[in-house]
Structure 1
Amino acid sequence: MENNQPALQQLLQKLRNNTASAEELALLQQWLGREAIEDELKQLWDFVPQQQPFFSEVASERMLGHILENEPAAIMPARRRSRGYRVIAVAAAVVVIATGWWLVSLKQDKPVSSAPVASTPVTSAVIPPGGNKATLTLADGNTIILDSSNYKTLSHYGAVTVVQQAGALAYQNHQRGADSVLEAYNTLSTPRAGQYKLVLADGSKVWLNAASTLRYPITFTGAERKVILTGEAYFEIAPNARQPFVVATENTQVRVLGTAFNVMAYTDEKNIQTTLVSGKVEVQTDNKPARMLEPGQQAQVIRASNTIEVHSADMEEALAWKNGLFYFNNADIRYVLRQVARWYDIDVEYAGTLPDRRFGGKIARNSSLNDIIRILELSHIHCKTENHKLIVMP
């Protein structure tokens, strides 16, 4: 042990920082196969500093707990917890933690194989995660491709200058409060595997998730500040009681004065969700009575019945994408993979009938698709990739 201690300390540092490679995970897995590992692992874990802000101190201790104490239903049934099975569970938990995942099957019906989980063949091509990229469509129909480039001026509209700066698009209004330009609209669109930040002419900020579109006026000159959203976006609205801000989706309007909230309105999801972080918003569908939200609440517009349901929100889940995470709470596999498909720009195909299983957990969105496939394999969801398509098998 002492001869290997420096290398193992370095490996645990990478584990904490979410930078361990597949080869390094295999090395750790070999070490985990030894007897009496728990005290040694605890000593090394306490010795290794945590340099990355991704995990809090509490989460870091929980991470170690998952490695050491996860008798977990997520990895094997409650019965037959022999030492050999425990080592397998620990090894699986390490792979889960090292890739950033806390994904567990909430309904497990068979134990995992004793084969090394890190050696599961996935795909020869590594599909990277998404990043800052979008397309800006100007009022005259011309388009501009946006990325993470440094500052540059893109266009001028009267007193408004449109600039790109480090993965964000900003409308700088040099005569705020004045009708500095005729009403004209721009559209910001993110592809699958893209996201982008937008600062509107009134100072409001918008973070646009993958496969989303926002249509908005260059300046807000009417009685309200209205934008049209498809997909998902997080908003921080500049207060203006005389000119309310309105987010319109296909059949829902969210009306605010100044607040922070998230709207998820993907057309392939059953519901439109509005989650309020601070302030107050009013959610309305068609001509039905509006519902007022308090911070920490979520309104779901049920597409099938065109009704609104309001309940307490899982804020970590609702805001995970903006915070660089996937986060799932009792989600079915199709919902999980719809999010994965948007972020990695892949199509998902289902071969056969999948088990009725629910999932909970989280992963950093900067993980590769291969990492996600490995974790799905731990829950007996078998996948392969072909020509940018993810094929899911029972």
Structure 2
Amino acid sequence: MKYNRMDIRNTIRNLINYFKMQNETPSQEEMAEIWGKIKEGIEKKKQRRKKKYILVTLASAAAFVGCIWVGVEWCSLNDKPDISVVAAQMSNETIEGEDIRLIVSQEEVLHVKKGATVAYSQDGIVSVDKEKVAKNTTEDLYDQIIVPKGKYTRLILADGSSLHINAGTKVIYPKHFEKKKREIFVDGEIFIDVKRDESAPFIVKTAQFEVQVLGTAFDIKAYSNTFENAEVVLLRGKVNVKSKSGKEMSLSPDDKAVILSDGLIEKSSVDAEEYILWTKGILSLNNDPLNVILAKLSRYYGVDIHCADNISDIKIAGKIDLECGIDEALKRISVTGRFSFSKQENAYMLTPLETIVQ
């Protein structure tokens, strides 16, 4: 059965109206599945359609994916795909690995050492620690940097905005920003210092929420597949946080927003400097529950760390110099909380001190 462009436009319009009425937004996994089915259909049509028809199909598919993503903004058939859609397409890249991966095209993946600085110039040059490594092309509009557990890096975008990227994080961003809009997608934790440009608002998108700014500095944590709540902590400037469910909240310096799984946003006052100490190799425990602290240490050192259920909610304050190593870090936490830790095969385990058999 053949479909003309009017059929496709009507189908897209109906889908948009449906999701608006349902107040639903497809998840990243659903978007990836939709995109996969579209590509599968295109491949089949390539075998029996003429080239002219294939080009129309490709354009229509791109428009379909761009328009179906609701809850952020509706794009027209001629717009560049929303970065959330791009993130869904690129979601098959695993976070696991030994090296930091800089994906600059489908054919080219660069490996970056821990702690290096990746920088993009306005004229399209990509460098690592000031050494040129690639020349941007227009074939691939977006790049991706993947920082596995046990690693960290810095990224300077083409507009001059600077990111510290924590372990276990993916960042997807355009090679060049549009004149009136700057968007990146984050799965994990970054501290970003946004280059001010009032003509082009900067938007950080995640699977759970988005943050819009002009020029500011804040920490954003939004790891997928984790029990930890997503959060935004503002160091300076002002930001607007909008959850997937449509809830919004403005933040001032030293405000922290916690985005809950149901889309509600809770705000509290904190010392923002404490939340960005990880960029200097220091972990502030912030009176967090033990299981949250261990999850952070697990990502930073790239090892598995577990604790007994009856101590997982115990809150601990203080700071840890992350350069001390995992054994010393766990020793200091154990002394503070009166725990014992041991290494079992390839993982660490914390237990209450009184359960130790002498």
TM-score exceeds 0.5: yes
1:295 aligns with 2:227: no
| Aligned pairs, number | 253
**2:167 equivalent in structure 1:** 210
Is 1:188 equivalent to 2:145 in the alignment?
yes
Q: CA contact under 8 A between 2:242 and 2:249: conserved in structure 1? A: yes
Residue of structure 2 equivalent to 1:111: none
Whichever residue aligns with residue 325 of structure 1, its letter is: I
Cα–Cα, structure 1 residues 171 and 226, in superposed 2: closer, same or farther, change >3 Å? farther
Q: Which amino acid aligns with 1:192?
A: K
How far does the alpha carbon of each residue in 1:135-190 deviate from its partner, in whole angstroms, 9 at most, with x for none?
Answer: 1112224211101698999xx99930100007x999999xxxxxx94661111111
AA at the equivalent of 1:144: L
Q: CA deviation at 1:317?
A: 2.9
Q: CA RMSD in A?
A: 3.1
Give the Cα separation in 2 of the matches to 1:152 and 1:284: 29
Counting only pairs closer than 5 Å after superposition, residues 138-177 of structure 1 correspond to structure 2 as 138-147=104-113, 159-165=123-129
Whole-angstrom distance in 2 between the partners of 1:309 and 1:249: 17
Q: Secondary structure at the match of 1:163?
A: strand
Q: Which residue of 2 aligns with 1:136?
A: 102
Counterparts of 2:182 and 2:133 in 1: how far apart (Å)? 16
Q: 1:40-94: per-residue Cα shift (whole Å, max 9, x none)?
A: xxxxxxxxxxxxxxxxxxxxxxxxxxxxxxxxxxxxxxxxxxxxxxxxxxxxxxx
Aligned partner (choices 212, 216, 225) of residue 182 of structure 2: 225
2:319 to 353, 362, 366: 362
* Matches of 2:132 and 2:228, distance apart in 1: 31
Check if 1:320 corresponds to 2:273.
no
For residue 393 of structure 1, what is the aligned residue in structure 2?
351
Q: How does 1:1-394 map to 2 (within 5 A)?
A: 134-147=100-113, 159-165=123-129, 181=138, 184-221=141-178, 223-267=180-224, 268-286=226-244, 288-303=246-261, 305-350=262-307, 353-354=310-311, 357-378=314-335, 379-394=337-352
Deviations 1:304-332 (A, max 9, x none): x2111222123233112112211112222
Name the CA shift for 1:356/1:223 in 2 (closer, same or farther; >3 Å). Answer: closer
Radius of gyration: which is bigger? 1
Does the 8 Å contact 1:172/1:201 carry over to 2?
Answer: no
What amino acid does structure 1 have at the position aligned with 2:233? T
Do 2:117 and 2:153's aligned partners in 1 also have CA atoms closer than 8 Å? Answer: no
Amino acid at match of 2:293: V
CA contact (8 A) 1:133 1:196 kept: no
Shift of 1:225: 0.6
TM-score by length of 1: 0.58
Cα distance change on mapping 1:313 and 1:141 into 2, 3 Å: farther
Unaligned 5+ segments in structure 1 are 1-131, 174-179
Distance 1:367 1:319 in 2: 18
AA aligned opposite 1:384: S
Which of the two has greater helix per residue? 2
Unmatched tracts of structure 2, length 5 or more: 1-97, 353-358
Asked whether the equivalents of residues 171 and 184 of structure 2 are also in contact (C-alpha less than 8 Å), the reply is yes
Q: Which amino acid aligns with 1:302?
A: L
Q: 1:236 to 1:170 in 2, by over 3 A?
A: farther
**How far does the alpha carbon of each residue in 1:334-375 deviate from its partner, in whole angstroms, 9 at most, with x for none?**
111111101111112345643753211101111111212322
SS of the equivalent of 2:324 reads coil
Contact 1:149–1:165 (CA under 8 A) maintained in structure 2: no
SS at match of 1:241: coil
- Between the aligned residues of both structures, percent identity stands at 24
Distance 1:225 1:151, change over 3 A: closer
Q: 2:87 maps to which residue? A: none
